[in-house]
Amino acid sequence: MLRVMQVGAHLLFFLLLSVGIVRAVADSDHPAPVVSLAAVVAAWYLCGIWFVRRRGLENGEPIERRLGQLWFAVLVVGWLMLMLADANFVWLAFALFFLCFPLFSTPIALTVTAVLTGAAIAATLWHGTTNTAASIVGPVFGAAAAAGMAVVYQQLVRQSTQRQQLVDELTEAHRELLDAQDELVALQRETGALAERSRLARDIHDTLAQGFSSILLLSRAGQRGPGDPTAIFTQIAETAQQNLVEARRVVEALAPAALETAPLQSALRRLLDQLQRQTGITAELITDGETMSPIMDYDVALLRVAQSALANVRLHSQARRVRATLSYSSDEVRLDIVDDGIGFDQREAGGFGLRSMRDRLAELGGTLVVESAPGDGTAVAATLPIGRSA
């Protein structure tokens, strides 16, 4: 709509200028000076259009408003000269009315319009027109119509500017949203990588590292003791084989091999039997409550906690007896591992094993409680809520 009005204003100027030239040629015996001046005015007008295009002016809002006002002032001077030379160019004022509003503020534009109207009336009277009323009413009516259309034009300009600002804001918001989505994807990727790294670290600590520790203890026991080396080698081979299987399953993010063919109770019993066979520590398993249907994530977490806790018993506790109790109730499953070893000072305990157990249980909404003191043994209690997962 704005573009149509702009083109219409240009066409109106050249139409009125052409009408003035044609009538000047028809009415004058020597029209050459007037036609030449009209050509200069037309050329100056075209320079203004070129300036607008070249500078990238949009919606009638010049980047360099003062240059536009200077251009308009020169154009008015040319019109005044044409109007003094020939009354047929008086009506060119209508086109000038439309031009002044985009270049000046509304009060100034109205003032300029009034001055141009007065000049048109004065020129008409100066040329001795016989219809005085028409000479006055015509320019006044034209100025009023031009002012009204100019106001509408400015409203359209403001609306267009507001719409463009809204489009720019929406475009910027869309770009920021895309950037935020990219950052979110990168953050999710990083979070996934950290979670996978944490999983590998916990599984390696609870399986491979503990298995290697068992192999190391068995080899040292074989070197120091007078026992049958064949039995020691057999235990080392079994532990190494178990470690190899667990290593493959850790890499592939599979459940522990011990849980694939047997329930959690059986896996815990085998773990305790292996501890007793390799270290001589008396180990027993007690189950309490009605066994619930297997939940693989829970079984894996509790088995890993048991592996880590029993590895600490093997390596650090100097215990003679350890008891594991697996309890089921209506709202939770609990694993307690208690030994009669030398215990430790909890204020100084902050190893990876305890953090790993807590993190593993916390991911499932569970908790880990460790109670120990030097000389009083150690009790580890792992609890998982049944209702949250079921």
Local confidence band at 57 (pLDDT 50, 70, 90 cut-offs): very low
Q: Which of 146-160, 248-262, 302-316 has the highest mean pLDDT?
A: 302-316
Whether residue 32 has pLDDT greater than 70: yes
Mean pLDDT across 298-327? 90
At residue 281, the pLDDT reads 92
Share of the chain above pLDDT 70, in %: 76
At residue 337, the pLDDT reads 96
At residue 368, the pLDDT reads 94
Q: Which of 220-224, 280-284, 315-319 has the highest mean pLDDT?
A: 280-284
At residue 390, the pLDDT reads 42
Delimit the domains of the chain by residue range: 2-173, 268-390
Local confidence band at 349 (pLDDT 50, 70, 90 cut-offs): low
Which of 37-51, 84-98, 189-203 is predicted with the least confidence, judged by mean pLDDT?
A: 189-203
Q: What does the mean pLDDT of the chain come to?
A: 80
Whether residue 56 has pLDDT greater than 50: no
Beta-bridge partners for 61: 58
At residue 380, the pLDDT reads 95
Local confidence band at 377 (pLDDT 50, 70, 90 cut-offs): very high
Whether residue 59 has pLDDT greater than 50: no
Whether residue 290 has pLDDT greater than 50: yes
27 vs 2, which has greater pLDDT?
Answer: 27
Whether residue 253 has pLDDT greater than 60: no
At residue 130, the pLDDT reads 53
At residue 235, the pLDDT reads 74
At residue 287, the pLDDT reads 92
373 vs 100, which has greater pLDDT?
Answer: 373
Which of 138-152, 290-304, 311-325 is predicted with the least confidence, judged by mean pLDDT?
A: 138-152
Q: Which of 59-73, 95-109, 227-241, 300-314 has the highest mean pLDDT?
A: 300-314
Q: What is the pTM of this model?
A: 0.47
Look at domain 268-390 and name its CATH class: alpha beta
